[in-house]
Amino acid sequence: MTAPGEQEPESAQLVRPYVITNGRGLPENDQFNLITLVTASEQRPPSHLDPEKRRLLELCSGGYLSVAEIAGHMGLPIGIVKVLLSDLSSDGYLVTRAPAPPAQLVDVSLLQEVLDGLQARFG
Amino acid sequence: MTQYLQDPALWALIAGTPLAATAIVRGRKARANLRQEKAELEKRAADLENNYAEAVQEAHNRAEEATKSALKSAMRTLQGLANEQQLAISKTQEKYGEHQLLQDLLEIDHMNSQFGRRAQSIAVLCDGWLGRQRAVASVYDVVRSAKGRIRHYTRVEIRSQSNFALVSRAVEPVALALAELLDNATSYSAPDSPIDITIRTVPKGVCVIIDDAGVGMNEEEKNRADKLLSATHATGVTGLGNPPQFGFAVIGVLAARYGFTVSVDSASPYGGVRAVVLLPEDLLTNMPEPVEQPTTHAPAAAEQPQPSGSTMTSSTVSGSTAGGLPKRRRKGSISIVPRADSTTAPARTSEETASIMGAFQRGTQSGRSAANPNREGHDPQ
């Protein structure tokens, strides 16, 4: 039916992303952002898990991985990955860790006061 | 006697007899002629009728061909556009993966898939282009792909997975046939009733079983379905009825062409139709290896003996990063000159070593003592 040479050079994924999430919307709660770190939990996943979920667990079984990295490796939109992650974490197969908070910079005026104090005493 | 001779009636009789005889003979001849003519006419009428039927059939065929080729080229364009659009949607989904817009993109993607499938189905009936050649895919993925091509896909539940995969040439036709079956199943059952799919391995291959909770089919519908599904020749575009029913005709063509069987003659446990697609062994293959496989057993591979005499240690995958990317060991120096430590130096005994060291020592001492007078000579004292 398909004549040779008539094939498209590029083809999209066989399983479309909306099928992977079964048409569910993006998760409302902001549990996951790009730099949330996740790793597989001790709990053994069941064998009938979807291939994407299994792959995701395999990916982060070695240690903590950020959401952005997972999406990159899986070749899926981040929103879709978030749906999968929220499923897996509510079933207890994943552990999440909030990203390390950025260092709080101390107020410059405080530093200036400390410096002034030191200079007054020892200077 | 004379009295008779004088009777004009006798003369009339005498004169009339040959006339009558002639008339009778002529009549007979005329009748024979007529009969012959009639037979000829009948023959000609039959010929005409035959010719007419042939002409009609020919005209029908020609019309069918013309319709097919027109539809085929039209569908080719639409299919191309649907594919292009799908790729564009994929890229946009990647781009706005985090955005709320993704939700809308997914819906557009779904509509585009349905649109592509419709065009594909018509193309199949017109002996047209089926679509892209796909890579080997698991039966589960093919079923999921089929699921994504119908409107009410969320009602479809896939109850089991399979360890088998479909060969690349069968991926698209099977997905399309399953999509048509699922479309029928969702169309002829209550709007929120589920459609169950079970994948089962049987001695002859793999069965995909689709159960709906609809009203089932009556005898007439079943007969029509059976006829279309087991059709040895394509029904064509003109035999689809009005409104045209594509489903079974498309499935029949695909099944005949790619060698799988579809039956819809049993009832589902929910009272609806049970459709069974039997994928024979020659369409099946083993599951493809994942492209980016996190290797956990790689250290064993690293321990494999290197080919002796090679000065290069080829990079070996050992373990994987947390991200699943294969970790590679640092490559050995890629030099053509053998590495110093790799050349097996001849082992020396301790006596030999001692004598060499002794010779070295003596040499330097004699050298120093021989050099000293010169140095003293250069001394500025």
What does the pLDDT look like over B268-325, one tens digit per residue?
A: 898 899 999 999 999 999 887 665 444 444 444 444 444 444 444 444 444 555 555 5
Enter the DSSP assignment of B366: H
What is the pLDDT at residue A44? 85
Contact A15 B148 (CB under 8 A): yes
User: Which residues, including other chains, have CB under 8 Å from residue B210's CB and lie 6 or more apart?
Assistant: B178, B181, B182, B185, B195, B196, B197, B274, B275, B276, B277
Mean of per-residue pLDDT scores for chain B: 81
Q: What distance, in Å, lies between the first and last C-alpha atoms of chain B?
A: 206
Contact A14 B141 (CB under 8 A): yes
Q: Does residue B243 have a cis peptide bond before it, meaning omega lies within 30 degrees of 0?
A: yes
Report whether B93 contacts B110 (CB < 8 A): no
Q: Counting beta carbons within 10 angstroms of the beta carbon of residue B257, is it exposed (0 to 12), middle (13 to 18) or buried (19 or more)?
A: middle
pLDDT exceeds cutoff 90 at B206? yes
pLDDT exceeds cutoff 70 at B333? no
pLDDT exceeds cutoff 70 at B117? yes
Mean of per-residue pLDDT scores for chain A: 83
B9-34 as b/e: b if 16+ CB within 10 A = eeeeeeeeeeeeeeeeeeeeeeeeee
What is the SS3 string spanning B232-285?
CCCCCCCCCCCCCCCHHHHHHHHHHHHCCEEEEEEECCCCCEEEEEEEEHHHEE
Q: What is the pLDDT of residues A83-109, one digit of tens each?
A: 999 999 888 898 888 766 667 777 888
What is the pLDDT at residue B290? 61
Q: Side-chain half-sphere of A32: how many Cα atoms within 13 Å?
A: 30
pLDDT exceeds cutoff 80 at B207? yes
- Put simply, whether A60 touches B (Cβ < 8 Å) is yes
Q: How far apart are CA B113 and CA B86, in angstroms?
A: 8
The total number of residues shown for chain A amounts to 123
Q: How far apart are CA B275 and CA B208, in angstroms?
A: 8
Query: Mutation test of the interface with chain B: which of A10, A18, A35, A78, choosing the one with the most B Cβ atoms within 10 A?
Result: A18
Q: Where in chain A does DSSP place strands (E)?
A: 37-40, 65-66, 94-97
How many interface pairs between A and B have CB atoms less than 8 angstroms apart? Answer: 116
Q: With bands split at pLDDT 50, 70 and 90, how would you rate the model's confidence at A2?
A: very low
> Looking at chain A, which residue has its C-alpha nearest residue B324?
A59
Enter the pTM of the model: 0.68
Contact B320 A48 (CB under 8 A): no
- Put simply, whether A2 touches B (Cβ < 8 Å) is yes
Contact A2 B130 (CB under 8 A): yes
Mean pLDDT for the stretch of residues B66-93: 92
> Looking at chain B, which residue has its C-alpha nearest residue A59?
B324
Element (H, E) at B198: strand B195-202
Contact B86 A8 (CB under 8 A): no
Write out the two tokens for A90: 């509510």
Contact A7 B132 (CB under 8 A): yes
At residue A85, φ and ψ (nearest 5 deg) are -65, -40
Q: How far apart are CA B49 and CA B38, in angstroms?
A: 16
Report CA A52 to chain centroid distance, whole Å. 14
Q: Counting beta carbons within 10 angstroms of the beta carbon of residue B229, is it exposed (0 to 12), middle (13 to 18) or buried (19 or more)?
A: buried
Report whether A79 contacts B98 (CB < 8 A): yes
- Put simply, whether A107 touches B (Cβ < 8 Å) is no
What is the pLDDT at residue A112? 92
Q: How far apart are CA B152 and CA B179, in angstroms?
A: 11
Most confident of A34-48, A59-73, B170-184: B170-184
Write out the two tokens for B51: 């010719």
Element counts in chain A: helices (H) and strands (E) = 5, 3
Q: In chain B, pLDDT over 70 holds for what percent of residues?
A: 77
B131 interaction partners in chain A (CB closer than 8 Å): 2
pLDDT exceeds cutoff 90 at B233? no
pLDDT exceeds cutoff 60 at B338? no
pLDDT exceeds cutoff 80 at B241? no
Contact A13 B102 (CB under 8 A): no
Q: In chain B, pLDDT over 90 holds for what percent of residues?
A: 46
Q: Which residue has the higher pLDDT, B327 or B132?
A: B132
Mean pLDDT for the stretch of residues B143-171: 93
Report whether B132 contacts B162 (CB < 8 A): no
Report in angstroms the alpha-carbon separations of A66 from A26, B127, B223, B316: 18, 49, 57, 27
B87 interaction partners in chain A (CB closer than 8 Å): 10, 12
Across A31-45, B71-85, B151-165, least confident range: A31-45
B174-204 as b/e: b if 16+ CB within 10 A = bbbbbbbbbbbbbeebeeeeebbbebeeeee
Contact B109 A69 (CB under 8 A): no
Contact A62 B147 (CB under 8 A): no
Across A55-59, B359-363, B372-376, least confident range: B372-376
Contact A65 B322 (CB under 8 A): yes
Distance to chain B for A103, nearest Cα, Å: 25
Q: What distance, in Å, lies between the first and last C-alpha atoms of chain A?
A: 91
Report whether A19 contacts B83 (CB < 8 A): no
- Minimal CA–CA distance to B196: which of B184, B207, B185? B185
Query: Mutation test of the interface with chain A: which of B81, B106, B159, B176, choosing the one with the most A Cβ atoms within 10 A?
Result: B106
The C-alpha R_g of chain B, in whole angstroms, comes to 46
What is the pLDDT at residue B1? 62
Q: Counting beta carbons within 10 angstroms of the beta carbon of residue B121, is it exposed (0 to 12), middle (13 to 18) or buried (19 or more)?
A: buried
A54 interaction partners in chain B (CB closer than 8 Å): none
Q: Are strands B195-202 and B156-158 parallel, antiparallel or unpaired?
A: parallel
pLDDT exceeds cutoff 60 at B380? no
Q: With bands split at pLDDT 50, 70 and 90, how would you rate the model's confidence at B170?
A: very high
Mean pLDDT for the stretch of residues B179-208: 93
> Is the ipTM, as predicted for this complex, more than 0.85?
no
Q: What is the pLDDT of residues B33-49, one digit of tens each?
A: 999 999 999 999 999 99
Across A4-13, B227-236, B336-345, B355-364, least confident range: B336-345
Q: With bands split at pLDDT 50, 70 and 90, how would you rate the model's confidence at A11?
A: low
What is the pLDDT at residue B232? 63
Q: How far apart are CA B306 and CA B300, in angstroms?
A: 13
Q: How many CB atoms lie within 10 A of CB A51?
A: 16
Please name each of the domains of chain A with its CATH number: 17-122 (1.10.10.10)
Q: Which residue has the higher pLDDT, B207 or B246?
A: B207
